[in-house]
Chains A and B, each alone.
Chain A
Amino acid sequence: MAYTFRGGLRLEEHKNTRGKRIETLPPPKTVSIPLQQHIGAPCKPVVAVGDTVAVGQLIGDVGAGLFCPVHASVSGKVTAIEDKFAPMGNRVTNVVIENDFADTPDPSMQPFEKSLADATSEEIVSVIRRAGISGMGGATFPTYAKIESAIGKVDRIIINCAECEPFICANHRLMLEDPAAVVNGVKVLLKAVGVREAYLAVEDNKLDAANKLEPLVADSQMISVRILKTKYPQGDERQLIYSLTGKELPAGKLPADVGCVIFNVETCAAVFHAFAEGTPLIRRIVTVDGDCVRTPKNILAPIGASFGDLIEFCGGLKKTPKRVVSGGPMMGRAVWDPATTVMKGTSAVLVMSSAYENATGLPPACIRCGRCVRNCPMHLMPNYIAQFSRAKDYARAEQFGAMSCVECGTCSYNCPGHMETAHDIRIAKNEIRKAARNKK
């Protein structure tokens, strides 16, 4: 029996690259590594222009507060340290490194000196912190902080292998091609968090991956594979927890409050690599797809490689694109510059030829069909919240539960009237937060 939740949608999957092996991107000439790729304080550069850096060398650090260090993904010379616009619209300092193609490894990259059985939780957390690992599913919360906040509070770990967004196959391929890294990463995390139960939550459209994982966890008393029904947004942490445990996590609460902590599957693999090889988070798997890409691929790309490099590696463009999306089509961000770089949370690059999907050319209009209400995974009334938001009646929007919205986009996706429901709610959430801040 597959676990599931109420609401949500069955989307067209478009998982075009599910059968394509992960390919390694040929080393790019230059990489531009943003120093803030996570939630928390931006890093300060610890290298200077003209310095020679090695693969895995620390280039950005803060040292205090919520942060996540950044490492060089190629070896070579730092040619610039400059401010650039990040996809979020804020300015972020970038370290630009010219590749010398020597791949000199940094001497700091050494396996952890103790075996997993001997390592303590604090030691593992510090390894993870030093490796600069943040959540690789998109939210990019620093993993060490997540573990620290979960220790003592949670009784199980959930590994999010749902990958419910269309197009993206990065996690799926990782589970197929390196299931051992995933399972070993789970073991490291179990030790770090100090719990005895972990679920690998896989959607039932990836049963081949589940079959690869099953034999590896067969001898483990603590790890089990759970099959979820394929539905969007199954990978949302709230729906994931509800599907597996039946507990509803209210808005504004953390999974730890209901005894769970969730890690993305690729984060697990990164944790394993950090522990077993000492490799910091300097590369990740990116699905490059969309109707403009000649041959869609899953690419292992260094952090800091530009989207243009990835697209070129996929045989270039087939049509003139109108949009480039960083992340999945449901929650990803449209970027304006093909030189945008791969970051720790970039799971996909989608190059699309359509600007907007309203083929009728009619002005958007809500016809109150109620589909958004029927499919909202948070059981809200998105049409009313969006209406209040457009009327700038944010108090009313809050009363109708705007802050519970997880911005999954189900409402906008399914709107026959082409309303930007999710966006209107997003605006309302922003205004409500602003008002709350002003009150204080």
Chain B
Amino acid sequence: MDTNPETRSAETEPMPADNPAPETEKDPAPEAASSEAPLPEEDTEAQEAPQPKKSFWKRFGAKKEAETGDAPDAAGKPGFPERLVISPAPHIRTADTTRSLMIDVVIALLPAYLWGVYVFGLRALTLGIVSVASCVLFEALFQLILRRPVTIGDGSAVVTGLLLAMNLPSTVPIWLPIVGAFFAIVVVKQLFGGIGKNIMNPAMAARVFLFSWPEEMGTFAEYGLRLSGVGTADITAGATPLVSLKAGVFPDVTLADMILGKTGGCIGEVASLLLIAGGAYLIIRGVITWHIPVAFVGTVALVTLLFPRTDGSNVNFMLSEVFSGGLLLGAIFMATDYVTAPVTPYGRLLYGVGCGLITVFIRYFGGYVEGVSFGILIMNLLVWYIDRFTMPVRFGGKQVEKKQ
């Protein structure tokens, strides 16, 4: 990577050709001025970028320095470098990067998160910042200590941090997301090999880990109870809609309020409409496909419609199940986490259905009111088998297998 033969030859040995000082010659520029114009700029950039610093910033995923190779040779006319680069085809690549995908996810999450900040006060903002910062910090620390390349630049730790915060009640103490971030990043993600290698969704696993503090994790602020950024306050704990549903009664918030996000719950899970809008954004941008969210939410809707656990209208009950708890946040943003979801279209449908079924079973029969986390985590572990058995029929593949 640091073997830029052009750079080195341009800087150390300015080629014994015609003119050893190319800069002075440039002013008259009698040739095509249009194409000559950007060259001096690039020249100075190349000189400004000192070599030793490069590797340091590169570890943090900083953008590559200006193309030093663009500088003309001493004759002022670009020529072929001493060595051309040989690389495997294809020679062009998409502009999409892991980072750009993660930025899209953050953009899709922000409206719902900001609604949470509006509803639950600055405390929600503090928790979010602490969570994101500690996720990024733990990732960087872990990789620095193990002398691995630092990959915080890919943005995945930011997404994990944001999702973790959005899955917490606004009342938790500030140290809680730090513990969660440690578990998510170090235990779930890095110990399994870092990005792309973890077998469970880090934020989801961390949330379940944090259930070790049931008191903190189980106290939800009521809608509109805005807490200050730091410090503690007397909290009037409110029952979330899910708690009511577990008890077999309709929640006291109206369905409209649940859809609009005027209810108690975790920071990021209340704003149902904004979560759906975020999901639509991701699908339109091609970041996720529709399969998992539709299969997940559809399964929950179908089962709750067929087997309601309260008296009254089935449809109302179904809707309050769908719009309560972390279902939409989980189905749209956490079950679709690339690393821990199947890659095949049918596999994604199957996975979504599985998540939905486990969610409903736990909500109905489990000890916890909330089943989404467990549904996703259990299905995470089955991803390899789902992929294996939903392998697409390869092009003309059936005949070939018979032949061989």
Contacts and interface: CB of A to CB of B under 8 A. Distances in A.
Nearest to A404: B394
14 contacts: A11-B92, A250-B398, A252-B403, A322-B85, A330-B91, A334-B84, A360-B154, A362-B154, A365-B98, A365-B196, A368-B338, A376-B392, A381-B343, A416-B97
B394 A355 contact: no
A418 B93 contact: yes
B64 interface: yes
B12 interface: no
A359 to B, nearest CB: 6
A166 interface: yes
Instruction: Categorize the interface residue count of chain A.
Output: 35 or more
A250 B403 CA distance: 10
A317 B78 contact: yes
Interface in B78-126: 78-81, 83-94, 96-101
Contact of B61 (A323, A360, A377): A360
Nearest to A363: B149
B233 interface: no
A61 to B, nearest CB: 32
B149 A320 contact: no
Interface of A: 11, 166, 238, 242, 248-253, 292, 294, 308, 316-325, 329-338, 350, 352-363, 365-370, 373-374, 376-381, 383-384, 400-401, 404, 407, 409, 412-418, 420, 422-423, 426
A362 to B, nearest CB: 5
B94 A361 contact: no
What 4 pairs across the A-B complex have the smallest Cβ distances?
A: A250-B396, A409-B90, A370-B343, A248-B396
B93 A413 contact: yes
A320 B46 CA distance: 14
Secondary structure type dominating chain A contacts: loop
Given A370-B338, A379-B392, A417-B98, A322 B89 contact: no
Interface string B144-181: 00000101011010000000000000000000000000
Contacts of A322: 69, 81, 84-85
B343 A383 contact: yes
B24 interface: no
Contacts of A331: 89-90
Contacts of A356: 85, 87
A423 B91 CA distance: 12
A330 B91 CA distance: 6
A209 B399 CA distance: 37
B154 A250 contact: no
Nearest to A318: B35
B25 interface: no
B120 to A, nearest CB: 31
A330 B90 contact: yes
A320 B72 contact: yes
Contact of B194 (A294, A365, A380): A365
Nearest to A412: B90
Contacts of A323: 84-87, 91
Interface in B353-404: 387, 391-400, 403
Interface string B65-82: 001011111000111110
Contacts of B86: 323, 334-336
A368 B341 contact: yes
Contacts of B58: 361
Given A317-B78, A318-B78, A322-B84, A334 B91 contact: yes
Contact of B91 (A249, A352, A363, A415): A352
